[in-house]
Structure formats: C-alpha cells, structure tokens
C-alpha cells in the first residue's frame, strides 16, 4: 500500500489520484460511506443527513456479505432511508467486490421495485462509480432492462412484486422491501397472499439455502404482516427493530465493530429529520393505532385480544346529570420501572353505564404522582372518591395524602391483571362503556386496551378496570353520594 501511495504522489496529478483512491477504499469498506458518496447520483437536489442508524444497518449488511448473518429482519419507520440503503445502494456496493452476486428484489408493487432497480443501475452507470469500479465488470447490453440487468460475471439484479413472476431465477441474496401496501394492510386476503408468496415461492429461490441470505426490511402495518409471520413462526431471523421514539432504555450493539449506542427512553431515532414536533403532528393526523405500527413498530391487534375493537367505539360529549364520579389511580413501584407508568382516570357511572371522562399517563416520581392527584382533584371537585390501588407506591401515597385530600380509598385487587380485565369485559361487550368524544388521550387508551395483555404499558388498562370494578361493587356508596349531593 505504501509503495502504491508513493507511486501516486510522484505521478502527474498524484494528489488527486490519491484522494480518489482513498475515497474508493472507504466506500468499498463501509456501506454508509458508499451511500454518502453515491448520494449526488440518486438525490442530487436533497442534502444527505448522516445518522447512526444508517451506520448500524450498514454493518448488518456487511455482516450478511461476510456470511455472519443469513436471515435479517429490519423494522424501521418510513422515510428513514430504508429502501435507498437496503434495496438501491447495498446491491451496487456488493458488486464493487463481488460482481458475481445475484439479487432478487421484491416490493408490494412492481412499479416500486422497478424504481429501486433503476436507481441501482443509475449508480452503476454513473461516472463516479465507473471511475472507481468500471474496470471490475461490464453490464451486458443484451440483458439490460429496468427490471433485470446482468454483468459479465453472471451477476444480476432482478426486481418483481409480491405475487409477480420470478422467471425461474435463483439468487444469492433476496431483499424483501415493504412487501405490504399500507392501504391494504387491513385486508386479511392481501396479508395471507403476501405470507404465502414469501413462504411457498420466494424463500425457495435461494441458490444455496445454507449460504444464501434473505433480508426483510419493512414498517409494521399489522400484527399478522410478514414480520408477524416471521416472529410467530420463530424462523430464526436476526431482528433489528428501530422505533422512531425509544419506548425504553436500551443499548444497541453494532454487529461487527461492537460500537454501542445507548438509547434513552423517549429518544428519537433521527431527530434531524423527524423532531418530536413532527412526530406528534404525524401521530395526530395518522391516529394512534397507525402511528404505533408504522413509526413505533408495535402494531395494535386489529380485533383486539381481550377488549375487542367493536366494543371500544361508543362515545359521549357531556356527562349525564347525576352521574357519580371517581378518580382511579394505578401507581408503579418506582419511577424507574421500565414497564410501568402512573395512570390516573376520571370515570363516572350513571345507572348501568360507565363514562371515561379524562386520563393521564406518564412516568412519574413519587412527588410527581402526588402532584398529579392534586391537580386532578382541583380539576374535578365532584370526583369525591379517589380510588388508589393498595400496592406498589399506593400505600405510601395513601398515607401521605389522606389527611390533605378527602376521599382517598384503598383498593386491594384480587386475581391477576388479566383475570380482572376479563371480569369487566361484559360491560364493554354490552356497550355500557363510553369514551369522551374527541379527547386527545382516547386513541392511546383504546390502543392500550386492544393490545392488552401483550402491550408494553398495562397501567391505563389497570386503572380503567379498577374504576369499573369499584363503581360496579359500591352501589350503596354511590347512592349515599347522590343523596349528599342533593342536600
């Protein structure tokens, strides 16, 4: 290498040649550097924004080429360079050292996969690529189309759609990029067809089942999408899941360099392009359920598990006159507990019907929990009873507040969380539970109910169940409250 550098330096234009040689070597070694250099070819009007997740995915792709990873599943939000990195640039980068590699690229639409293949070919044809690697291989003139092109090392890149033709070809690497149309995610027939195509046709197209690689990269759209199939069937894929907002503290280790990235709870995947403000706006416009799948990679079960979707659509605008109102609080063991939040609700009962009027849910310290209960009390003075689960931080808060706030009621739950939830499902199924219309918290609460008991946070569900159980079992207390209220 030293002699090569010396030769370049003494040759005409040596400094420029040396600079190109160094750039070429960096691009060959790292996919993220290859993308940075190729960016003007595929996105000439857009500024390239580097981010650690691009480097991370690049290392996983390198691990695939090294034979360290044979099955790779990546879940990542839309517009995070998923296709450009995995489907457009990665195959062209692989050909810089392994031009004999054969690729099949699959997306939900032929126009989409064809577009990706054209961009790959644009990179290979570009003066930048030809200057660096043009001497390594040539594209064949008689097999140079948009959906398939080959080189003189018998490497090829072929694009098709889910359910489309495979022309009898086999590949060394199969890339499945967004196999499901987001607009058809709720179609059971479409999802089943996608899984069947993958299971029965696509994965059989590897030239070597032992050494060949399959890469699936997608946003989550439904619990029974292709990712759901891979995870449920335990197909032994390396799974890289990158939610837009970290749901908990987690250390991510790069597969080759062993570099570590510590994601704190609430940290953003790519704050330069998707700030908290932008994500909040997307959540409001898309709705909590869609946002949970596409951006958080946590699809909500379509029908629900315990609490069914059709049970959760009744709304009201104003509480009925004479309704009895309580607060219901579920408090975690400590504010650092990863799987728990402090959840508080305002729930009312009138006759046989229950009305969820307000909800707060967040990670809170002891002091913050006390403040939240005080704030809820000031906001809803008619909520005379404050029902607090008599576990975790509950007893300490009960002892702390009972002298200052009247109506603190310890609630000692019986049975498991799931058993208690099942016990109140008849009220939901009968249409006796209503949600405040257009409440900003309603979407998240309904999503928590539909995911329960598989969702990460169960505290809002616990608080709802607790309120309904207490209100249903204390009719005598409610009648006394009504008499006192009426003088």
Model pLDDT for residues 47-82, shown as the tens digit of each residue: 999 999 999 999 999 999 999 999 999 999 999 999
**Which residues fall within 8 angstroms of residue 292, CB to CB, at 6 or more apart?**
298, 299, 300, 447
Where does the pLDDT of residue 304 fall: very low under 50, low under 70, confident under 90, or very high at 90 and above?
confident
Specify the residue for token string 């040396």: 18
Q: What is the mean pLDDT of residues 296-300?
A: 89
As annotated, the residues of the chain forming the CATH 3.30.420.240 domain(s) are: 309-485
pLDDT of residue 300: 80
pLDDT of residue 209: 92
pLDDT of residue 405: 79
**Which residues fall within 8 angstroms of residue 458, CB to CB, at 6 or more apart?**
339, 417, 448, 452
Query: Residue 274: is its pLDDT beyond 80?
Result: yes
Model pLDDT for residues 189-207, shown as the tens digit of each residue: 999 999 999 999 999 999 9
Distance (Å, rounded) from C-alpha 368 to C-alpha 343? 12
Query: Residue 401: is its pLDDT beyond 90?
Result: no
Query: Residue 486: is its pLDDT beyond 60?
Result: no
pLDDT of residue 242: 97
Dihedral sign computed on CA atoms, order 230, 52, 182, 171: negative
Token readout for 395 is: 């007893």
Model pLDDT for residues 412-441, shown as the tens digit of each residue: 888 888 889 999 999 999 999 999 999 999
pLDDT of residue 333: 54
Query: Residue 339: is its pLDDT beyond 50?
Result: no
Q: What is the mean pLDDT of residues 126-144?
A: 91
As annotated, the residues of the chain forming the CATH 3.40.50.300 domain(s) are: 49-279
CB 227 within 8 A of CB 218: yes
pLDDT of residue 10: 52
Query: Pick from 39, 169, 58: which is nearest to 103 by CA?
Result: 169
Distance (Å, rounded) from C-alpha 266 to C-alpha 313? 29
pLDDT of residue 139: 94
Q: Which of 8-12, 72-76, 138-142 has the lowest mean pLDDT?
A: 8-12
pLDDT of residue 481: 54
Q: What is the mean pLDDT of residues 172-181?
A: 96
Model pLDDT for residues 98-112, shown as the tens digit of each residue: 999 999 999 999 999
Query: Residue 394: is its pLDDT beyond 70?
Result: no
Where does the pLDDT of residue 368 fall: very low under 50, low under 70, confident under 90, or very high at 90 and above?
confident
Q: What is the mean pLDDT of residues 456-476?
A: 87
Which one is predicted more confidently, 486 or 31?
31
pLDDT of residue 365: 80
Percent of the chain whose predicted confidence (pLDDT) is above 70: 90
SS3 115: helix
Q: What is the CATH number of domain 309-485?
A: 3.30.420.240
Which long-range contacts does 26-31 make (Cβ < 8 Å, 24+ apart)?
Answer: 27/93, 27/96, 27/132, 28/93, 28/96, 28/97, 30/55, 30/58, 30/62, 31/57, 31/58, 31/61, 31/62, 31/85, 31/89, 31/90, 31/93
Query: Residue 356: is its pLDDT beyond 90?
Result: yes
Q: Which of 237-246, 320-329, 474-483 has the lowest mean pLDDT?
A: 474-483
pLDDT of residue 14: 66
Where does the pLDDT of residue 169 fall: very low under 50, low under 70, confident under 90, or very high at 90 and above?
confident
pLDDT of residue 2: 52
pTM of the model: 0.75
Distance (Å, rounded) from C-alpha 252 to C-alpha 244? 14
Query: Residue 186: is its pLDDT beyond 90?
Result: no
pLDDT of residue 350: 94
Where does the pLDDT of residue 476 fall: very low under 50, low under 70, confident under 90, or very high at 90 and above?
low
Which one is predicted more confidently, 129 or 309?
129
pLDDT of residue 413: 81
Query: Residue 456: is its pLDDT beyond 70?
Result: no
Where does the pLDDT of residue 244 fall: very low under 50, low under 70, confident under 90, or very high at 90 and above?
very high
Domain spanning 49-279: CATH 3.40.50.300: yes
pLDDT of residue 303: 79
- DSSP characters for 420-443? HHHHHHHHHHTT-EEEETT-TTHH
Q: Which of 19-33, 48-62, 145-159, 401-415 has the lowest mean pLDDT?
A: 401-415
Query: Residue 487: is its pLDDT beyond 60?
Result: no
Cis peptide before 386 (omega within 30 of 0): no
Q: What is the mean pLDDT of residues 295-321?
A: 90
Cross-strand partners of 260:
253
Where does the pLDDT of residue 143 fall: very low under 50, low under 70, confident under 90, or very high at 90 and above?
confident
Where does the pLDDT of residue 7 fall: very low under 50, low under 70, confident under 90, or very high at 90 and above?
low
Cα angle 235-185-434, degrees, rounded to a multiple of 5:
110
| CA 267 from centroid of its chain's CA atoms | 14
Number of C-beta neighbours around residue 460 at 10 A: 25
């Amino acid at each position: 290498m030293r002699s090569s550098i010396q030769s370049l330096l003494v040759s005409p234009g040596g400094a420029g040649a040396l600079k190109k040689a160094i750039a070429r070597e960096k691009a060959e070694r790292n996919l993220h550097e290859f993308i940075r250099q190729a960016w003007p070819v595929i996105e000439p009007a857009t500024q390239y924004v580097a981010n650690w997740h691009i480097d991370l995915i690049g290392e996983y792709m390198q691990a695939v080429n090294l034979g360290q990873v044979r099955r790779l599943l990546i879940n990542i939000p839309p517009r995070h360079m998923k296709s450009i990195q995995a489907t457009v640039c990665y195959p062209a980068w692989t050909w810089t050292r392994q031009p004999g590699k054969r690729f099949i690229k699959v997306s939900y639409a032929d126009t989409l996969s064809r577009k990706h293949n054209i961009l790959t070919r644009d990179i290979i044809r570009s003066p930048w690529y030809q200057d660096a690697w043009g001497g390594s291989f040539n594209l064949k003139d008689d097999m140079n189309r948009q959906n398939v092109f080959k080189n003189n090392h018998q490497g090829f890149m072929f694009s098709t759609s889910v359910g489309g033709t495979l022309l009898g070809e086999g590949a060394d690497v199969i890339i499945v990029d967004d196999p499901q149309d987001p607009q058809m995610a709720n179609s059971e027939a479409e999802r089943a067809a996608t899984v069947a195509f993958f299971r029965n046709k696509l994965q059989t197209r590897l030239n070597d089942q032992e050494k060949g690689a399959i890469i699936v990269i997608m946003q989550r759209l439904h619990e029974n999408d292709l990712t759901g199939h891979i995870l449920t069937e335990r197909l032994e894929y390396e799974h890289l899941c990158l939610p837009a907002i970290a749901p908990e503290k987690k250390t991510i280790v790069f597969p080759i360099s062993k570099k570590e990235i510590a994601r704190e709870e609430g940290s953003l995947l790519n704050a330069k392009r998707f700030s908290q403000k932008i994500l909040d706006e997307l959540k409001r416009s898309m709705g909590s359920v869609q946002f949970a799948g596409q951006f958080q990679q946590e699809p909500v079960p379509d029908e629900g598990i315990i609490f069914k979707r059709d049970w959760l659509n009744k709304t009201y605008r104003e509480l009925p006159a004479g309704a009895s109102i309580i607060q219901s609080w579920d408090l975690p063991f400590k504010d650092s507990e990863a799987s728990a939040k402090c959840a508080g609700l305002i729930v009312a009962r009138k006759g046989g019907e229950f009305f969820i009027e307000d909800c707060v849910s967040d990670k809170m310290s002891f002091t913050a929990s006390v403040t939240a209960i005080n704030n809820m009390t000031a906001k809803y003075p008619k909520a005379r009873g404050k029902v607090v689960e008599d576990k975790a931080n509950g007893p300490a808060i009960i002892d702390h507040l009972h002298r200052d706030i009247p109506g603190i009621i310890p609630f000692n739950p019986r049975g498991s969380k799931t058993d208690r939830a099942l016990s109140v499902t008849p009220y939901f199924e009968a249409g006796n539970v209503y949600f405040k219309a257009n409440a900003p918290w309603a979407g998240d609460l309904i999503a928590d109910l539909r995911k329960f008991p598989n969702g990460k946070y169960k505290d809002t569900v616990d608080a709802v169940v607790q309120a309904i159980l207490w209100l249903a079992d204390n009719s005598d207390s409610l009648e006394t409250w009504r008499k006192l209220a009426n003088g």
